[in-house]
């Protein structure tokens, strides 16, 4: 069976690695010319995503991946602060968490290693359709065409394939814009380094401004003690942060800025919102070249709205179907689990226990449930942030946070 995968991001590469490992004839067409020349910060892989990866990629790649990952179980519980830097509370203990964080570039590079020469870089797919015999066909930017038995769109949130199948976009902007960057823990002053600690957290404020701070340390908190296998881009304790604002003409103007200018404009915006300096230090000390803007897009949270097409020899997975804001940290993990599910159902076809359309139909049914689950989780935070931008939400946040912080101080004193 010949399978064409459009998109060599996380989901497409994971699928292709699994197909190659199981003897399928696969080709991935990816428009990027270099897998390392990609955006992105860190990706969280929960236990289910890791289990899927073990099914998809050879053991030596899993070993390199874990040697390059930061273990959540070694982190302190997450913290929640208000915009003055006052502690509001903590998340659950992470000591039993199987989840790991990995640089997106590292994950993509290791998956590309597993795909080998079945990955064709610098190949943009411009159109898809069916050949005269009814088999799926893709048209590449150089005008050449390729046919296959199964075509899989793993081409991300603005998917050509899912758009073709659904007859239009499969997701829409949620009204929040994010700006992310990286800050080495060593670049923070001792007080702020102590306050943040080896943990991730979130700063809440009225008027829709929020700041996520994620802790990543693939060296000090490595999952495996195997430095010779480490391929992480991050080389020491680092905070990956994400500033989030409701979209407006003012935030749109920020999108045109770069580096120092963008950092300074973000700081000015937070200061105008009355933020104290301590929660802003992580932005002020960021590597200016690491700061970038991204729009939050989301598909529907209802399973029946996802992949709303009859199953056939063209399908899609990952963000193409269930684009998810990064607020749950589950988009990449879900794309990997989609890939493992599709592989399992395709193996049933080659084993003679299923037919291709049935296998695709079962895969899409699984994916609808998975997509709705992660979208529901991710949209909770999005709705919370948007609610603080209403007059009532702003008033409640302003009034409630000092009381929550004071109650927390009392509890700690006792």
Ligand X SMILES: Cc1cc2nc3c(=O)[nH]c(=O)nc-3n(C[C@H](O)[C@H](O)[C@H](O)COP(=O)(O)OP(=O)(O)OC[C@H]3O[C@@H](n4cnc5c(N)ncnc54)[C@H](O)[C@@H]3O)c2cc1C
Interaction site with ligand X (CB under 6 A) = 6-12, 29-32, 38-43, 104, 124-125, 154-156, 160, 318-320, 326, 329, 331-332, 335
Q: What Cα–Cα distance (Å) separates residue 248 from each residue in 85, 135, 204, 245, 262?
A: 26, 45, 19, 9, 16
Beta strands in 186-251 (DSSP E): 201-204, 210-216, 238-246
What lies within 8 Å, CB to CB, of 358 at 6+ separation is 311
End-to-end CA distance of the chain: 66
Cβ proximity to ligand X: between 170 and 251 the closer is 170
Name the token pair of 159.
């998917």
Cβ proximity to ligand X: between 279 and 333 the closer is 333
In the complex, what is the shortest distance from the CB of residue 300 to ligand X, in angstroms, rounded to a whole number?
16
Q: Which residues pair with 246 in a beta bridge?
A: 176
In the complex, what is the shortest distance from the CB of residue 104 to ligand X, in angstroms, rounded to a whole number?
5
Cβ proximity to ligand X: between 282 and 405 the closer is 282
In the complex, what is the shortest distance from the CB of residue 136 to ligand X, in angstroms, rounded to a whole number?
15
83 and 279 Cβ atoms separated by less than 8 Å: yes
Cβ proximity to ligand X: between 343 and 405 the closer is 343
Cβ proximity to ligand X: between 216 and 222 the closer is 216
CB atoms within 10 A of CB 303: 18
The four Cα atoms 351, 356, 362, 367 give a dihedral, to 10 degrees, of 110
In the complex, what is the shortest distance from the CB of residue 190 to ligand X, in angstroms, rounded to a whole number?
28
Cβ proximity to ligand X: between 10 and 343 the closer is 10
In the complex, what is the shortest distance from the CB of residue 308 to ligand X, in angstroms, rounded to a whole number?
18
334 and 318 Cβ atoms separated by less than 8 Å: yes
**Secondary structure class of 100 (helix, strand, coil):** strand
Cβ proximity to ligand X: between 67 and 298 the closer is 298
What lies within 8 Å, CB to CB, of 10 at 6+ separation is 43, 104, 107, 108, 111, 318, 332, 335, 336
In the complex, what is the shortest distance from the CB of residue 26 to ligand X, in angstroms, rounded to a whole number?
15
Closest residue by beta carbon to ligand X: 9
What is the torsional sign of CA 46, 48, 52, 58?
A: positive
Name the token pair of 191.
């007080």
244 and 176 Cβ atoms separated by less than 8 Å: yes
176 and 290 Cβ atoms separated by less than 8 Å: no
Distance between CA atoms of 244 and 41, rounded to whole angstroms? Answer: 15
In the complex, what is the shortest distance from the CB of residue 321 to ligand X, in angstroms, rounded to a whole number?
8
Cβ proximity to ligand X: between 279 and 331 the closer is 331
In the complex, what is the shortest distance from the CB of residue 383 to ligand X, in angstroms, rounded to a whole number?
19
128 and 91 Cβ atoms separated by less than 8 Å: no
Cβ proximity to ligand X: between 155 and 192 the closer is 155
What is the torsional sign of CA 131, 133, 136, 142?
A: negative
> Which residue in 162, 384, 173, 175 sits closest to 298, CA to CA?
173
In the complex, what is the shortest distance from the CB of residue 103 to ligand X, in angstroms, rounded to a whole number?
9
Cβ proximity to ligand X: between 217 and 319 the closer is 319
In the complex, what is the shortest distance from the CB of residue 413 to ligand X, in angstroms, rounded to a whole number?
37
């Amino acid at each position: 069976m010949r399978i064409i995968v459009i998109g060599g991001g996380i989901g497409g590469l994971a699928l292709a690695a699994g197909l190659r490992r199981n003897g399928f004839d696969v080709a991935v067409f990816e428009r990027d010319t270099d897998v390392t020349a990609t955006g992105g910060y860190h990706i969280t892989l929960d236990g289910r995503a890791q289990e899927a990866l073990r099914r998809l990629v050879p053991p030596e790649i899993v070993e390199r991946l874990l040697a390059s990952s930061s273990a959540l179980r070694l982190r302190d519980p997450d913290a929640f602060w208000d915009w003055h830097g006052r502690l509001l509370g903590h998340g659950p203990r992470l000591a039993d968490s199987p989840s790991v964080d990995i640089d997106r570039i590292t994950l993509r590079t290791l998956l590309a290693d597993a795909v080998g020469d079945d990955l064709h870089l610098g190949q943009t797919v411009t159109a898809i359709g069916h050949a005269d015999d009814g088999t799926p066909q893709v048209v590449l930017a150089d005008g050449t065409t390729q046919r296959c038995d199964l075509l899989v769109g793993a081409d991300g949130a603005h998917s050509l394939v899912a758009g073709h199948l659904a007859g239009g976009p499969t997701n829409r902007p949620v009204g929040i814009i994010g700006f992310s960057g990286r800050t080495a823990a060593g670049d923070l002053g001792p007080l702020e380094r102590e306050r943040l600690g080896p943990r991730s957290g979130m700063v809440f404020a009225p008027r829709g401004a929020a700041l996520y701070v994620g802790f990543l340390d693939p060296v000090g908190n490595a999952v495996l003690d195997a430095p010779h296998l480490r391929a992480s881009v991050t080389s020491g304790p680092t905070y990956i942060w994400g500033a989030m604002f409701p979209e407006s003409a003012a935030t749109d103007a920020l999108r045109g800025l770069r580096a120092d200018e963008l950092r300074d404009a973000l700081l000015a915006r937070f200061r105008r919102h009355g933020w104290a300096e301590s929660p802003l230090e992580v932005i002020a000390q960021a590597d200016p070249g690491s700061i970038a803007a991204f729009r939050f897009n989301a598909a529907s949270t209802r399973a029946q709205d996802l992949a709303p097409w009859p199953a056939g020899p063209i399908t899609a997975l990952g963000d193409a179907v269930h684009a998810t804001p990064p607020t749950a940290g589950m988009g990449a993990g879900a794309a990997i689990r989609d890939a493992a599910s599709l592989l399992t159902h395709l193996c049933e076809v080659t084993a003679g226990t299923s037919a291709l359309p049935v296998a695709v139909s079962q895969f899409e049914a699984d994916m609808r449930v998975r997509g709705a689950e992660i979208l529901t989780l991710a949209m909770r935070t999005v709705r919370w942030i948007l609610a603080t931008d209403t007059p009532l939400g702003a008033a409640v946040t302003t009034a409630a946070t000092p009381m929550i912080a004071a109650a927390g101080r009392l509890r700690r004193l006792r």
